[in-house]
Chain A
Amino acid sequence: MFDTPDSEIQEPSGDDGGAADGVTLEKLDEALVLRVTGALDLTLAPKLRQFVDRAQRQAPSVLVIDLTGVSFLASAGMAELVRAHRSTASIAVRVVATGRVTVRPLQLTRLTDELVIVPTLSAALDPA
């Protein structure tokens, strides 16, 4: 099911142990998947925005933002999730988040009510 990635760009920024902070874009079936790793804060948020814009220009039916590899989620990162979710009605945006580090801030700010959040990438790619 894995197509050859259309593009894959990694922007590591020097790390102190966990996964490098970065965003990659790949195509899986009809969906575009943005995988975010490391700390999604004020520093990485502009990169995520750039990738969301790039992905949306390709007009996929589904855009997945996969936070499975995120070790730290701040409000600057959440702002980009909201922006992606609201910017186009024709693209379904799904966020993959599991675990306290990402889910708790989303719950406390009521974004679990607004965004489409699923626990796994396969659930995000499920056409149903």
Chain B
Amino acid sequence: MPGSSETSFTHPALFYGTPKEYLADTVPFITGGLSAGEPVAVAVPPAGLGLLRRELGTDADLVHLLDMTHAGRNPGRIIPGVLRAFADAHPGVHVRIIGEPLWAGRSEAEYPACAQHEALINHAFSGRWATILCPYDTASLGPVALADAVRTHPWLIDGADEWRASGAYSPDDVVADYNRELPEPPAAAVLVVGANGLRELRKFVAETAVRAGLAEDRAHDVVLVVTELASNSVEHASSDATVLLGQGGGQLVCQVRDCGHIEDPLAGRRPGAPGQRRGRGLLLVNHLADLVRVHTTPSGTTVEVRFQLGWEVGFLPAAGHVSRARHSGQRPTGQAPRQLMSTGNEVEAELRHVRHA
């Protein structure tokens, strides 16, 4: 594979349309790693895990297998909780990871966070000795998702292990494109919180979470997440935090708005480093929430967090849940990114290539 020299990071997108194509490229990637003695992890939805288990046989026991619909439910925690967690556990060697953060059942609210996550992997792993292969299901994902994959991955693989450099690679544009305004949650209660209001905020959030039906432990997670966001506002933005708490689509939706600007796109995505004293608040938020979205500008920031109601922490959506969504033809997003027009030609050319492969 290209670019696998020491200290270099390789981040290809693999476009597959059938299980056969999926296995044709993922299996050699895995077995090649195993025979070279490299640590290999696979974080994909349950359907892919099932295919790979059958195909790999006993070799599957040598691979770190993770259900991405669970471990990566919030795209913002995939870098610290899945990718870096595995890479950091194997220092000094080249690691191989298959990471599939996007599937047909992803919601419209989740999609922008998926695209930004894919873009930010390039920064988070810059200079590290790793290869992260990201499969994209061309049969079920919409054109926007496939076009974005061409922009977030420097390498593209199609068909029979053909590697090409992406002509439209522009991850920072993708991060910027999906830095979108977040509409207020429906029928939200509003609380303005200053430095002395954290206790009152916790009480309010705890009561709301329990009333919404969350179990005590999960309600505590919600309280911790909202406290971290409000604390960030009070501390870093030196402003009050405006907290909006509502429900919609079977989720508890909370926004925290302030006058600050989050300039570091990797904030909350770096795992805690030894000796690092501060900066763990957004990391906790990413680990605990089911979805984190951010809209940040020099004049203000909104962070939106969502918590699934009706199932508890640790619940694994059954494989049937994912495949049902797939057959219903649901698309992760119906909205084209704003910048797609200006970069459209390169992306279109890349996609034609992918489709004809």
Chain A residues with a Cβ under 8 A of chain B: 14, 16, 39, 41-43, 72, 74-76, 78-79, 82-83, 86, 100-101, 105, 108-111, 113-114
Contact = CB atoms under 8 A, between A and B. Distances in A.
B253 to A, nearest CB: 21
B90 to A, nearest CB: 15
Interface stretch (B18-26, B36-44, B130-138, B272-280): B272-280
Interface residues of B, number: 29
A48 to B, nearest CB: 13
A79 B277 CA distance: 5
Contact of A75 (B202, B217, B220, B280): B280
8 contacts: A16-B199, A76-B231, A79-B278, A82-B276, A83-B277, A101-B220, A108-B287, A109-B284
Interface in B249-284: 271-272, 274-281, 283-284
Please classify the interface of chain B as helix (H, G, I), strand (E, B), loop, or mixed, using the class held by over half of its residues.
helix
Contacts of B234: 42
Interface stretch (B91-99, B141-149, B221-229, B321-329): B221-229
Given A16-B203, A108-B287, A108-B288, 15 more contacts: A14-B199, A16-B199, A39-B199, A42-B234, A74-B227, A74-B231, A74-B281, A75-B284, A76-B231, A79-B278, A82-B275, A83-B277, A86-B277, A100-B220, A114-B274
A105 B284 contact: yes
A16 B203 CA distance: 8
Nearest to A114: B274
Interface string B159-199: 00000000000000000000000000000000000011011
B235 interface: yes
